[in-house]
Homo-oligomer: A and B are copies of this chain.
Amino acid sequence: MDPGPETPRGGVEAVDRALVLLTCFRDGATSLGLAELADRSGLNKSTILRICVSLLRRGFLERGEDGRYRIGPALWRLGACYRDALQLPSTLRPELHRLCEDIGETASFYVRDGDTRLCLFREEPARAIRHTLQEGASLPLSYGATALVLRAFGPAWDPNLDDIRQAGHAITRGARDPDVAAVAVPVQRQATLLGALALSGPVHRFDAQQVEHMIRVLKQSADRIVA
């Protein structure tokens, strides 16, 4: 949580600290005690307590009966506001569902978020063995099929990714997890990249023939989404 050797100065210190506190809730840490917060944020306990009064009052935090802190409902509301601002087509979620049902693998939609990628939506099939991921999960841009697509079709021009731009899709096998494979295509509206659409699942269900089929279906979906 340490902001680095030299924080780029500017801004309001107290606000910064509050945001650091909120950001402590990640990697599955859905509830935190005061000591854990102090530990993760590096802030003085009394400082945290004071800031939490404000966060609690405005619904940005909640307290369980055990006294532990949790993220509050205001953040769900604002999260929805983020999604609304993206003005994504309403066809996105239905298309994901359709992809997931047709192919029988997890379908997901990622957007770029600075130097990470953010899973906005996902649909999982009802199969026993499937790729599980959470909406809201934040992953690095350094690996993964959606990461490649977001980088290849994003604003910055990386010559290493010419082949992906050429092909119009990206495939990875075991990039993040040795058992997981994924295929991704860009979703573009008038030459601007909205995000990446992907199918992911166990690597053994992604042979050449199936992957080819997935790419075809993914591209059709991407087209329908922005149609």
Q: Give the interface of A toward B (CB within 8 A).
A: 8, 10-20, 22-23, 25-26, 28, 30-31, 50-51, 53-55, 57-60, 62, 70-85, 87, 94, 97, 111, 113-114, 118, 120, 126, 134-138
Contact = CB atoms under 8 A, between A and B. Distances in A.
A224 to B, nearest CB: 14
Shortest beta-carbon contacts, A-B, top 7 = A80-B136, A79-B79, A11-B54, A11-B53, A30-B85, A73-B113, A14-B14
B82 A51 contact: no
Contacts of A94: 126
B15 A55 contact: yes
Nearest to A137: B80
A16 B74 CA distance: 13
A113 B72 CA distance: 9
A75 B73 contact: no
Of residues A19, A77, A118, which shows the largest number of chain B Cβ atoms within 10 Å of its Cβ? A77
Contacts of A18: 12, 15, 18-19
Given A51-B15, A53-B10, A136-B76, A85 B71 contact: yes
Contacts of A20: 58
A12 B118 contact: no
Contacts of A78: 22-23, 25, 71, 75, 78-79, 136
